[in-house]
Amino acid sequence: MNFPRLTVWLLSSLCLLAGTSCKKNSEPAPPEADSIAVRYAQTQCADKWGQATTTQQLEAVATTYLVQQGIAFTQAHATQAAPAAVCNACTCTTGVVLEGRVNSSQLAAIQVLGFTKI
Structure confidence at residue 29 as a pLDDT band (50, 70, 90): very low
**Contacts for 38 with CB less than 8 Å, ≥ 6 apart:** 99, 100, 101, 102, 107, 110, 111, 115, 116, 117, 118
Domain extent for 87: 35-117
User: 6 in a domain, yes or no?
Assistant: no
pTM for the model: 0.72
User: 93 in a domain, yes or no?
Assistant: yes
User: 19 in a domain, yes or no?
Assistant: no
| Average of per-residue pLDDT across 18-25 | 56
Report the pLDDT value the prediction gives residue 90, as an integer from 0 to 100.
93
Lowest mean pLDDT among 20-24, 31-35, 42-46: 20-24
pLDDT more than 90, % of the chain: 69
